[in-house]
Amino acid sequence: MENLLYYPYINVPRTDWTIRTLLYYNQVGSIVPQNYFYEPEKYDNFMRVLVQNELVIPINPIEVLERPWEISRPFIDYINTKEFKLRQRRVQFQGAKYGKIHENKLNLNGPKIHVDKFDDEIFYQLEQAGLARREDHEWFIVEQRTANDLMSFLASVIGGKLGFLPTTDMQVRKVPFTNSSKKVYKTMKKDNLRREVILKEVIPFPEQIDLKQLRRFKDKHPDLLNSFKNKVELIALDHNIDEESQLFKETIRELNYQKEELSAKMNESRFGQLIFGTVCGITGAIIALASAGTTGALVGTFTALPAFANAIHSALQIERVENITDQSGMKYLALIDKKIRRPCAENAYSLWRV
């Protein structure tokens, strides 16, 4: 899957997980209410920067779902099944009025869901079941597990229609609606777990990434991204390698070694090769120009040659790192480390404050 759909919230979180996700997937989408397209100030600061730089694509469910009143019917039917445990959830929602949900939850009475994400019928049914209540003209308070199921349902429907893989940075009980069997779903979940472990280990510097250059970098190097993804997927989809095994750990260690080796090659000095090639050619031309000029110009040019040549060499080194040959698939990360990683913690911190 090339594209990813984040849920359950509107704003993609400001975390390492997000940066790793942006680096790995071609496109990242988020389900966004219709009014956010006209009032972008409703986004938090970080999400607004992601949208402005086209790193996250806002997806309007009203435009995607042609018949939302029909699509919501399977979920309403699901509420009445034995598996749903309606009575237990109703008690939990009533208890939440007294603050029994952990204080780190979005709201003491449960998470909020924007009305634009579903048609009115589904909220009416949830209210009648004692699992939701309207907070204001935009938001409903919904029982925690029901809200998780509802957003998983919506993400699954939209993701299936658009070709986006629904995913979240939260621990979600399950995806209640899927075309896959339970066995296939468990396999996919395990594959994704291995994928997340690999990305976390081989991308140890996400907080230092310059977001404003990331979109341009990905557009410039789709071949390198595909090569990197192929390397990761070959490991993530290998069911013979358990993520707890020593072989899995050694495989990741080898990826890191290959990345560090490439980074070292990009940083090593090749001044001896350049000084007799490009640099000498350029400076030789300057000497010729100087000799045709006023008296004393040639002497000044000879005096400045070492510093001038070094400046040219430094600039060429920045450009020539892309010419390094790589068969490991890790050049994508090595170039990110070289070109768009923030040079110091202070700059990285200022990035997160945008």
Structure tokens at 233: 């997927």
**How much is the pLDDT for 279?**
41
For residues 11 and 47, the answer to whether their CB atoms sit within 8 Å is yes
**Is the pLDDT assigned to residue 216 strictly greater than 60?**
yes
Residue 341 belongs to what H/E stretch? none
Distances (CA, A) of 342 to 206, 209, 352: 10, 6, 12
The more confident residue out of 130 and 103 is: 130
Is there a domain that residue 185 lies in?
Answer: no
pLDDT band at 281 (very low <50, low <70, confident <90, very high): very low
**How much is the pLDDT for 108?**
35
Average pLDDT of the residues in 19-34: 91
Q: Which of 94-103, 130-139, 340-349 has the lowest mean pLDDT?
A: 94-103
**Is the pLDDT assigned to residue 353 strictly greater than 50?**
no
Cα(202)–Cα(223) distance, integer angstroms: 19
**How much is the pLDDT for 284?**
45
**How much is the pLDDT for 210?**
79
> Which domain covers residue 55, as residue numbers?
1-179
Is there a domain that residue 268 lies in?
Answer: no
- DSSP conformation letters of 246-305: HHHHHHHHHHHHHHHHHHHHHHS--HHHHHTTHHHHHHHHHHHHHHTSSTTHHHHHHHHH
Strands 3-6 and 27-31: what pairing? parallel
pLDDT band at 316 (very low <50, low <70, confident <90, very high): low
Cα(231)–Cα(235) distance, integer angstroms: 7
**Is the pLDDT assigned to residue 45 strictly greater than 90?**
yes
**Is the pLDDT assigned to residue 330 strictly greater than 80?**
yes
**How much is the pLDDT for 346?**
42
Is there a domain that residue 73 lies in?
Answer: yes
Q: Which of 46-55, 148-157, 249-258, 287-296 has the lowest mean pLDDT?
A: 287-296
**Mean pLDDT rounded to a whole number for the chain:** 76
**How much is the pLDDT for 276?**
39
Percent of the chain whose pLDDT exceeds 90: 25
Structure tokens at 122: 């589904």
**How much is the pLDDT for 270?**
45
Residue 58 belongs to what H/E stretch? strand 57-59
**How much is the pLDDT for 140?**
85
pLDDT band at 148 (very low <50, low <70, confident <90, very high): confident
Cα(58)–Cα(155) distance, integer angstroms: 13
Q: Which of 246, 248, 264, 241 is nearest to 338 (CA)?
A: 264
**How much is the pLDDT for 291?**
45
Is there a domain that residue 266 lies in?
Answer: no
**How much is the pLDDT for 110?**
55
Is there a domain that residue 196 lies in?
Answer: no
Is there a domain that residue 300 lies in?
Answer: no
Cα(138)–Cα(33) distance, integer angstroms: 10
For residues 28 and 57, the answer to whether their CB atoms sit within 8 Å is yes
Q: Which of 56-70, 116-130, 311-325 has the lowest mean pLDDT?
A: 311-325
Q: Cβ contacts of residue 35 below 8 Å, gap of 6+?
A: 42, 116, 138
Structure tokens at 256: 């890191």
Q: Count up the domains in the chain and report the number.
A: 1
Structure tokens at 280: 């000498």
pLDDT band at 119 (very low <50, low <70, confident <90, very high): low
**Is the pLDDT assigned to residue 95 strictly greater than 80?**
no
**How much is the pLDDT for 91?**
87
For residues 309 and 286, the answer to whether their CB atoms sit within 8 Å is no
pLDDT band at 233 (very low <50, low <70, confident <90, very high): very high
**Is the pLDDT assigned to residue 127 strictly greater than 50?**
yes
Q: Which of 103-107, 117-121, 214-218, 348-352 has the lowest mean pLDDT?
A: 103-107
pLDDT band at 298 (very low <50, low <70, confident <90, very high): very low
For residues 29 and 9, the answer to whether their CB atoms sit within 8 Å is no
- DSSP conformation letters of 320-338: HGGG---SSS-HHHHHHHH
Q: Which of 272, 190, 214, 199 is nearest to 56 (CA)?
A: 214
Looking at the DSSP bridge assignments, the partners of residue 164 are 3
Angle between helices 182-202 and 16-24 (to 10 degrees): 100
Strands 139-142 and 112-114: what pairing? antiparallel
pLDDT band at 246 (very low <50, low <70, confident <90, very high): very high
Helix count (H) and strand count (E) of the chain? 17, 7
Average pLDDT of the residues in 246-255: 92
Residue 96 belongs to what H/E stretch? none
Is there a domain that residue 125 lies in?
Answer: yes
The more confident residue out of 28 and 330 is: 28
What value does the CA radius of gyration of the chain take, rounded to a whole number of Å? Answer: 27
Structure tokens at 315: 């600039």
Is there a domain that residue 241 lies in?
Answer: no
Average pLDDT of the residues in 5-33: 91
**How much is the pLDDT for 24?**
93
**How much is the pLDDT for 263?**
82
